[in-house]
């Protein structure tokens, strides 16, 4: 799969992943394909049993689509590569930033963002009490002040290169639309809970539409995990470089097992 990725992308992603520096890994063309490749390889090598349902956080939705059979590995890798470059171009065209807001209910963060001037939206609902906001730099900074004035425990800028999951990513959606529309989406063998709806989806055309909307819509991770648990899940397996989702899931519902 590493050799296949090198061939498809036209450069040695595997060399960067195994032998490159931290700065090499931060290159636009490298970061997202590298995380995707790591996650898919780990999932295929280490899966103990076939999943009953899948989900992925932002970029992770692409590896989740491979895990449930909705996308072929090769097609997903090429989409991830196109997505990374489209997002970078959007960041350069529309500079923006993101900030983490801690200790405030989701609905209040959402309402305060809507009341601000400029572009600032709730972008990631990660777990109760942890929401990431995204938008124009001045609007995000002003929103951070308002959040703290209204009771947030913390509201701090994140070291990111753009306003992901906000309207500022619209150019990336337009750039990615053609690639997504010409990619074959198959019926998954189990439901995928997508970021945009947080609901179980199995219809290829709906999955395709939601994936396109994902760049400008919020990641509804809290709601996704709650819906997955409501639909019967008791064990969660995280595949990828790190265990951030494992921690978030525990904060959403400590009664489930995470691995």
CA distances from 34 to 3, 4, 40 (A): 13, 13, 10
pLDDT for position 239: 95
pLDDT tens sequence across 89-120:
999 999 999 999 999 999 999 999 999 999 99
CATH number of 2-92+167-258: 3.40.366.10
Express each pLDDT in 158-193 by its tens digit.
999 899 999 999 999 999 999 999 999 999 999 999
255 is catalytic: no
Measured in degrees and rounded to the nearest 5, phi and psi for residue 153 equal -70, -40
* Rg of the chain (C-alpha set): 18
| Per-domain boundaries in the chain | 2-92+167-258, 95-157
- For 204, which DSSP code? H
Topology of domain 95-157, per CATH?
A: Alpha-Beta Plaits (3.30.70)
Cα dihedral sign for 244, 33, 72, 90?
positive
- Which entry of 14, 63, 134, 165 is annotated as an active-site residue? 165
* Residue 124 and residue 224 in contact, taking contact as beta carbons nearer than 8 Å: no
What does the H/E/C string look like for 8-77?
A: HHCCCHHHHHHHCCHHHHCCHHHHHHHHHHHHHHHHHHHCCCCCCCEECCCCHHHHHHHHCCCCCHHHHH
Which of 58, 117, 134, 254 is an active site residue? Answer: 58
Q: What per-residue confidence (pLDDT) applies to 137?
A: 97
- Examine the residue annotation and report whether 58 is marked as an active-site residue of this protein: yes
User: With 80 as the cut, is the pLDDT of residue 212 above it?
Assistant: yes
pLDDT digits (tens, 9 = 90+) for 19-63: 999 999 998 899 999 999 999 999 999 877 899 999 999 999 999
């Amino acid at each position: 799969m590493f050799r296949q990725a090198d061939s498809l992308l036209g450069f040695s992603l595997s060399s960067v992943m195994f032998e490159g520096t931290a700065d090499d890994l931060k290159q636009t063309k490298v970061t997202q394909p590298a995380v995707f490749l790591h996650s898919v390889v780990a999932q295929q090598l280490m899966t103990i049993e076939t999943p009953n349902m899948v989900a992925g956080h932002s970029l992770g939705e692409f590896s989740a689509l491979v895990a449930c059979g909705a996308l072929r590995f090769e097609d997903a890798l090429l989409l991830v590569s196109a997505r990374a470059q489209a997002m970078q171009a959007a960041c350069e065209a529309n500079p923006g930033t993101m900030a983490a807001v801690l200790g405030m209910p989701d609905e209040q963060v959402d309402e305060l963002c809507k009341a601000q001037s400029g572009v600032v939206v709730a972008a990631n609902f990660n777990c109760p009490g942890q929401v990431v906001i995204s938008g124009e730099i001045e609007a995000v900074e002003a929103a951070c002040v308002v959040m703290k004035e209204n009771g947030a425990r913390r509201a701090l800028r994140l070291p990111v290169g753009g306003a992901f999951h906000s309207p500022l990513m619209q150019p990336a959606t337009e750039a990615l639309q053609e690639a997504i529309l010409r990619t074959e989406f198959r019926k998954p063998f189990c439901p995928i809970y997508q970021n945009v709806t947080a609901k179980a989806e199995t219809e290829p055309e709906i999955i395709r539409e939601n994936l396109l909307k994902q760049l400008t819509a919020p990641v509804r991770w809290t709601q996704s995990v709650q819906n997955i648990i409501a639909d019967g899940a008791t064990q969660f397996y995280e595949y990828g470089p790190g265990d951030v989702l494992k921690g978030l899931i525990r904060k959403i519902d400590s009664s489930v097992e995470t691995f």
